[in-house]
Amino acid sequence: MQKYDYLIVGAGLFGCVFAYEATKAGKRCLVIDKRDHLGGNVYCENIDGINVHKYGAHIFHTNDKQIWDYVNQFAEFNNYINSPVSISKGKLYNLPFNMNTFYQLWGTKTPDEAKRIIENQIKEYGCENPKNLEEQALSLIGKDVYETLIKEYTEKQWGKKATELPAFIIKRLPVRYTFNNNYFNDKYQGIPIGGYNKIINGLLKGIETKTNIDFFENKEELSQLASKTVYTGKIDEFYNYKYGNLEYRSLRFENTRLEKENDQGNAVVNYNDATIPYTRTIEHKHFEFGKQKHTVVTKEFPEQWSKDKEAYYPINNQENQKKYQQYKALSLKENSIIFGGRLAEYKYYDMHQIIASALQKVNKELG
């Protein structure tokens, strides 16, 4: 006998929003996750009073007032603004590329001076039909910014030479001719005070949840518990890799507690040089303006993905997209399974996009 209306596989943002809305509409939901905690990649681990973003920095930003109001139901947000800095060959640069960055590179003081240098470099090094990421970047920003702040970082992140990466990875580059270090252009930005777990706990309040449950160990049995399954895991795994596995990049995180109040003076510091194995370091207390006497810093190492590792970034090249379209075609034939989220849709989503997608799917489902 079916005990639930929806079995929700995966307690990330997509699954939690779906469960919250369905429950509000009077449906019975069970949320399961194979990890030992709820919240997916937005989960925060409290380490000695500091909310550590366990799966990398998560900064909420959106221009959509409805989405902003939606998350604010569950937590109050602070006014954190993401302003990362980048280290290249021992020198510090501001991100995103702006007048501060150009001054640090060339000593330029006016937008006209900076534009002139970039335009001349695009003329010299760019091309009309870029065939790879390197050509694309040179055609958008010129040689100096590319070689100083993009090339080695990107090659580390993807584990491939920039000349082997598709051009579409860099569709556009944020270039600002103002002295503005705000990484996002979005109107609404911040970090939930007390961490993202507050939002997850608010979404799942009163809903039955089970952790340490691997859906694929008891797929048939679990599926029979509910009329429909909301699946947020890897779509290729759902179909037992029928068309081969989709590729991802993975990440590994190393946390260090330091007995000092402030280690790097900023939440996020990027490391461009190929000689440094990690891409960035995150000092979590700065997300919430912490005043603790100690700090926790995380190094983020990009890694080759394998089936026993977490899948973070889809490698959206033509070969993988072709495979994904075959899996998607199968998923569209399902009547009792709803696929949603980053892994099920093989798509990189920001948090506000995941919430919007979940709301859209649950509203369509509930009519």
Q: Is 300 a catalytic site residue? A: yes
**Rounded CA separation 59/182 (Å):** 12
**Rounded CA separation 244/260 (Å):** 48
Q: Is 350 a catalytic site residue? A: yes
User: Are the C-beta atoms of residues 59 and 36 closer than 8 Å to each other?
Assistant: no
Q: Is 128 a catalytic site residue? A: no
* Pairing label, strands 29-32, 4-9: parallel
Catalytic choice (125, 176, 231, 346) = 176
Catalytic choice (36, 112, 128, 172) = 172
Catalytic choice (20, 135, 280, 345) = 280
Q: For residue 236, give Cα distances in angstroms to 59, 342, 343.
A: 29, 13, 9
Q: Is 263 a catalytic site residue? A: no
Q: Is 249 a catalytic site residue? A: yes
Q: Is 172 a catalytic site residue? A: yes
Burial of 166 (0-12, 13-18, 19+ CB in 10 A): middle
Q: For residue 293, give Cα distances in angstroms to 54, 159, 274.
A: 21, 37, 33
Q: Is 116 a catalytic site residue? A: no
Catalytic choice (134, 300, 345, 349) = 300
Catalytic choice (249, 283, 324, 346) = 249
**Angle subtended by helix axes 111-125 and 99-106, to nearest 10:** 70
Residue positions annotated with a catalytic role: 172, 176, 249, 280, 300, 348, 350
